[in-house]
Amino acid sequence: ALERTFSIIKPDATNRNLTGAINSLFEKNGLRIVAQKRIQMTTAQAETFYAVHSARPFFGELVEFMTSAPVVVQVLEGENAVLKHREVMGATNPSEAAEGTVRKEFALSIGENSVHGSDSLENAAIEIAQFFAGNEIVG
Ligand code: CMP
């Protein structure tokens, strides 16, 4: 089915000027960028976004990292977009990511892993709504 998923190009990638290279991989794999903006995430936004990880030992580091430089938040649309995006991103840990994936090509570590993607259609809707108004998404 035609789906929308939520994507973030993270600070390690924006710092290295990789926005276009990552978008190119998304587009080559059939994902259409139907909304996109570059923002400086606030601590409150990052804490809310990653609330599910708040008990993890890396939570503080994660919030610190996500607010350390601009990020690019996106809505990607395509057939089975949630799963397709996760496939194009590759495994969370770049040392386990498959050849040709964003994280294999670009990620630096499990924390500085260049991209975020929603893990389900339900979470995609929640995450999209945290960063985009309906009229900012143009399919
Ligand atoms: P993301 O898909 O954005 O969702 C949660 C993030 O936590 C994940 O990507 C990783 O970047 C980060 N993360 C997961 N495990 C660790 C870890 N052991 N140390 C630091 N960051 C982590």
- Say if strands 71-79 and 2-9 run parallel, antiparallel, or are unpaired: antiparallel
ipTM: 0.94
**Catalytic annotation, residues:** 116
Mutate to test the pocket of ligand 1, among 8, 47, 58 (most ligand atoms within 8 A of CB): 58
Residue 37 annotated in ligand binding = no
pLDDT values of the chain reduced to their tens digit, one per residue, 139 residues:
999 999 999 999 999 999 999 999 999 999 999 999 999 999 999 999 999 999 999 999 999 999 999 999 999 999 999 999 999 999 999 999 999 999 999 999 999 999 999 999 999 999 999 999 999 999 9
Phi then psi for residue 89, to 5 deg, are -65, -40
Residue-level length of the chain: 139
Could you identify the residue written with the tokens 């276009």? Answer: 20
Instruction: Tell me the C-alpha distance between 134 and 20, whole Å.
Output: 24
Q: Give the three-state DSSP class for 32.
A: strand
Longest CA pairwise span in the chain (Å): 39
pLDDT in tens, 20-42: 999 999 999 999 999 999 999 99
**Threshold 0.80, pTM exceeds:** yes
Protein residues with CB under 6 Å of any ligand 1 atom: 53, 58, 61-62, 92, 110-111, 113, 116
Q: Tell me, in angstroms, the distance from the centre of ligand 1 to residue 111's CA.
A: 5
